[in-house]
Amino acid sequence: MNYQNTLAFAQEQDQQDPLNHFKKRFYAPQINKQDAIYFCGNSLGLQPKSAQAYIDHEMQKWADLAVEGHFKGENPWFNYHQLLTESAAHVVGAKPVEVVIMNQLTVNLHLMLVSFYRPQGKRFKVIMEGGAFPSDQYALETQTRFHGYNPEEAIIEIFPREGEYTLRTEDILKTINDHADELALVLMGGINYYTGQVYDMEAITKAGHQAGAVVGFDLAHAAGNIPVKLHDWDVDFAVWCTYKYLNSGPGGTSGVFVHERHANNPDLPRFAGWWGHDASSRFQMKKGFIPMVGAEGWQLSNAQILPLAVHRASLELFEEAGMENLRAKSEKLTGYLEYLIDDVHADKDVLEMITPRDPKARGCQISMLVKKDARLLFDKLMEAGIIVDYREPNVIRVAPTPLYNSFEEVYRFSEILHQCLQAH
């Protein structure tokens, strides 16, 4: 695509954008009594305007029916989570039986590790990306300790080569192959939260299985960001949050994927709860856990209806927009952002882009390493009405998301960045 550093070009792209109308279906935060340019959906997505009505509906049901709301009225709470299953499956490339919405991300990660990290003999090691999001690091650290291993010995972290910021797929696959005889699990992020790099999940899964290991992914920064095909790629399990690109509220609910080949495996250990018990006999209150088929069998407690209601509102927007359409726009937005950053940064030595240049190898995020006064630049952007994300020690993450960001916003961001750099 031939980009141009002009407002007219940006506005023309917005006029041609078939997804442009979605922007009006979200609330925009205010700075100085004006709509801010919000490029922080990688931390917390904006609120869909339809979310309040979905919450109000369930609140009214609670007022009118109280406990009877579990079984009476429109969409009884007893199986409310199933209203989200098919749409969530579309987002992550799964069959409905392989997906359930429940709990929160790290809770679900621990539940998956109980079932899928099963060290035996010399097979006890785990491969993960170096510098993964802390929750993943802490979960694996404590899980390996729980099994009696020293995390320093059990966890193999893969770091970029010296002088590079992203992982090479060949290095990931080589590490898996080099440790094939002692590997129990490969657990990676679908997208690295810091650099925005998309990992080749299909190749990693294939290599992990060839090594005799289980393969899982944390899709916190991938779900709702890029199309994934968990079933087709033969991934064993995955978890994700819904409050980032899936726009389902702070601390929102989480999703779980379990491949259908594990759906009725009696040999898989799990931590059980009554909501994962066979629904037809759940209220008989008898001993003996009989799991529901598929991912639903990993449920613990009855569903949190209000967070699910928000997520339902958001998933309807994703169904309407389509992940492939969102991805196409995302690549154009980040491509335009990349072009403009390069343009406004000409003849300066302040910024370094640490996100892959290949649009296919990144999500809707550009991470800028700021070589001088990074926090000061971040503060200037915020004061000028740009909401981005700062990560220690000197990285600013800029995430134009295709559901509610526009080409004109990307252009105006570059104007303000240019002004800030001139005064930097």
For residue 241, the model assigns a pLDDT of: 97
pLDDT > 70? residue 285: yes
Predicted confidence (pLDDT) per residue in 42-94, tens digit: 999 999 999 999 999 999 999 999 999 999 999 999 999 999 999 999 999 99
pTM for this prediction: 0.96
80 secondary structure, DSSP code: G
Residue 24: both structure tokens together? 């009006």
**Mean pLDDT computed over 201-225:** 98
pLDDT > 80? residue 266: no
Under DSSP, is residue 154 helix (H, G, I), strand (E, B) or coil? helix
**Mean pLDDT computed over 172-178:** 98
Predicted confidence (pLDDT) per residue in 120-161, tens digit: 999 999 999 999 999 999 999 999 999 999 999 999 999 999
At residue 343 the predicted structure's pLDDT band, cuts being 50, 70 and 90, is confident
Q: Which helix (H) or strand (E) segment is 125 a member of?
A: strand 125-129
pLDDT > 90? residue 1: no
CB atoms within 10 A of CB 159: 11
Phi, psi of 239, deg, nearest 5: -135, 155
Superfamily, domain 7-49+323-422: Aspartate Aminotransferase, domain 1 (3.90.1150.10)
CATH annotation of 75-319: 3.40.640.10
Residue ranges of the chain assigned to CATH 3.90.1150.10 = 7-49+323-422
227 secondary structure, DSSP code: -
Strands 183-189 and 214-218: parallel
CA neighbor of 189 nearest in space, from 152, 137, 252, 262: 137
pLDDT > 90? residue 314: yes
**Mean pLDDT computed over 199-204:** 98
Residue ranges of the chain assigned to CATH 3.40.640.10 = 75-319
For residue 264, the model assigns a pLDDT of: 84
pLDDT > 80? residue 372: yes
For residue 422, the model assigns a pLDDT of: 84
CB atoms within 10 A of CB 223: 29
**Mean pLDDT computed over 101-126:** 97
CA dihedral 250, 52, 399, 382 (to 10 degrees): -80
User: What is the spatial distance between Cα 159 and Cα 229, in angstroms, rounded to a whole number?
Assistant: 25
For residue 346, the model assigns a pLDDT of: 62
User: What is the spatial distance between Cα 230 and Cα 252, in angstroms, rounded to a whole number?
Assistant: 22
CB atoms within 10 A of CB 220: 27
Q: Which residues neighbour 202 within 8 Å (Cβ) at sequence distance 6 or greater?
A: 229, 233
For residue 347, the model assigns a pLDDT of: 60
**Mean pLDDT computed over 243-257:** 97
At residue 23 the predicted structure's pLDDT band, cuts being 50, 70 and 90, is very high
CB atoms within 10 A of CB 36: 17
